[in-house]
Amino acid sequence: MERRDFIQKAAITGTGLIGASRLSPLNALTVNEPKKLSPLLGSRFVTLCIMIRTTPWEVSRDVKLIDEDESPYHTLKVVRDLREAFAKNNPDGRLTWGFTLNALEDKRPNYRDIRNYVVECQQTYGDEVSYFPGYFPALYLPRERVNREMSEAIQIISNLVGGGYRPRSIIGGFLSAENMRYLSEKENIHVAHGVIWSQHAVDGGGADGSPSYPYYPSKEHLCKPAQGKTDFIDCVNLDGWSVDFQCARISGGIQGTSVFNSASSRRGVGPIETYCDWGIDIGHLSVMHTQSIHFDRGFALNGFGWIPNIWEAALVKRPERRDWGETFILEAMGKWVGDTKKRWPDVKFISFGEYGEIWRQHYRDNEKWNYRFEERGLGIGNSWGNEDIIWYMNKSFRLATVRNWQQNTQPRVYDFTRYDIPSKEPADPSPEKPNKDWSLMNRINQKGLRPQDQPILLKDLKKEDKDLISRYYPELF
């Protein structure tokens, strides 16, 4: 079998074609019209955010980690084409638009046109318009400043959309526990993308240690689920990208020299690590494999499935992301959405805020959710095809085991993070003195960076740890 034929057979294929037709308002909503929320259980969800910025890695108006003007990559045509590629096989889908402060305030015609277009999308299709403070605010800015700038951005968005509109969520990248408390209590916003799951030593920072699915954060630490009423923050904390659990065991970004042997801890559904690194055909294998973890076995285990994803609008025109062709990002978007709808016809593409409210409607605290995930690796890159991974996540701890199914080895614990012991976030950072690691690591961490992180058999855990695990999963012992 030829290599390309094998790839096409292995992937979930579809037309994935980019059409020239404009969207029709099949699901029109007025700005203030309430929308009935879907049930959580029995549903599959995808939440997509398209990010609009003026420079890479903006943290604030004047804090830019890379001072490069991205305005040539942000045009009305780019944004419209990306939205239409999203809708080609998904006409009733809704997404979230995430603007940095600079993108909200930039007076250049291209940014003005983009903002006007996004307002039309909100009013016609029910898209969410939100604030996106450039991935890293908690790592570089004092908590008070992050709070103040979130309020400023929310007011700008309300004025922009009109009619009393307010976003349902903030797309924050990394937000401190205090930032999420502020959103809940001061802004009456109860959903935030406040953690990037498993990210460590990528793009200059990270915060590994949280559950990968939604939870109410503790006042102690952004990665820690609240343990009770006294440390409860009523702001659902969401991840931004689903990643391959196998790949997540790596600390850092790209490693190695060949496309099949390279490793990225962020590989999963994100376009940079999949389509941009490997091209549409092979990259699509990683995307669909990661989604199947949540929409097939994960759906059976948890009763619902969820895939978060974020695409940067600049990818469409950035020169280094176009090695595979002039329109490959648009083709990748169409193929991803189209094939997802083909394989799981019931999947709902909705905004981050809407999904967070659906989860919040079902779970009022952290007492009852108990997530399970099982993965056999894809067999490409560092998604090892001879290994099985199982994740267990609840309010008290997260636990991961790995085994070589070909050699029938015993499962070994490669992550055991307890949430029932005290935790503490770093002190306020500043642009001059950032704090780039907000990870929550205690017993064993999946990145394997410390001597104590060597995988061990379940029976070799400390007695107090085994007693805790047994209260949730007695079958493991």
What string of pLDDT tens digits covers the 477 residues of the chain? 333 343 334 333 332 222 223 333 333 333 434 468 999 999 999 999 999 999 988 989 998 888 899 999 999 999 999 999 999 999 999 999 999 999 999 999 999 999 999 999 999 999 999 999 988 899 999 999 999 999 999 999 999 999 999 999 999 999 999 999 999 999 999 999 999 999 998 877 899 999 999 999 999 999 999 999 999 999 999 999 999 999 999 998 765 545 556 678 999 999 999 999 899 999 999 999 999 999 999 999 999 999 999 999 999 998 776 677 779 999 999 999 999 999 999 999 999 999 999 999 999 999 999 999 999 999 998 999 999 999 999 999 999 999 999 999 999 999 999 999 999 999 999 999 999 999 999 999 999 999 999 999 999 999 999 999 999 999 999
Cα 288 to chain centroid distance, Å, stands at: 16
Helix %, strand %, coil % of the chain (to 5) = 35, 20, 50
- Same topology between domain 44-362 and domain 371-427+441-476: no
Rounded-to-integer distance, Cα 270 and Cα 310, Å: 7
Task: Check residue 36 and give its pLDDT.
Answer: 85
- By DSSP bridging, strand 128-131 and strand 371-376 are unpaired
- Are 266 and 201 within 8 A, CB to CB? no
CA angle, residues 160, 164, 169, in degrees to nearest 5? 75
Task: Check residue 64 and give its pLDDT.
Answer: 85
Task: Check residue 318 and give its pLDDT.
Answer: 85
Q: Provide the b/e sequence for 301-331 (b: ≥16 CB within 10 Å).
A: bbebbbbbbbbbbbbbbbeebeebeeebbbb
Whole-structure pTM value: 0.92
- Token pair of 218, please? 């503790």
Task: Check residue 6 and give its pLDDT.
Answer: 33
Rounded-to-integer distance, Cα 80 and Cα 117, Å: 8
Task: Check residue 255 and give its pLDDT.
Answer: 56
- Token pair of 228, please? 């009770």
What is the domain partition of the chain in residue ranges? 44-362, 371-427+441-476
- Token pair of 30, please? 């007025």
| Side-chain half-sphere exposure of 303, counting CA atoms within 13 A | 9
- Are 203 and 183 within 8 A, CB to CB? no
The CATH homologous superfamily to which domain 44-362 belongs is Uncharacterised protein PF12979, DUF3863 (3.20.20.510)
Could you tell me which residues come within 8 angstroms of residue 296 by beta carbon, excluding any fewer than 6 positions away? none
Rounded-to-integer distance, Cα 12 and Cα 21, Å: 25
Task: Check residue 321 and give its pLDDT.
Answer: 65
Among all chains, which residue has been given the structure tokens 């025109």?
Answer: 317
- Which CATH architecture describes the domain 371-427+441-476? 2-Layer Sandwich (3.30)
Rounded-to-integer distance, Cα 51 and Cα 53, Å: 7
Three-state secondary-structure class, residue 297: helix
Query: What's the sign of the alpha-carbon dihedral 137, 143, 146, 150?
Result: positive
Q: 474: which DSSP letter?
A: G
Task: Check residue 432 and give its pLDDT.
Answer: 94
Among all chains, which residue has been given the structure tokens 């061990």?
Answer: 456
Task: Check residue 322 and give its pLDDT.
Answer: 63
Task: Check residue 5 and give its pLDDT.
Answer: 40
What spatial distance separates the first Cα and last Cα of the chain, rounded to whole Å? Answer: 45
Task: Check residue 20 and give its pLDDT.
Answer: 29
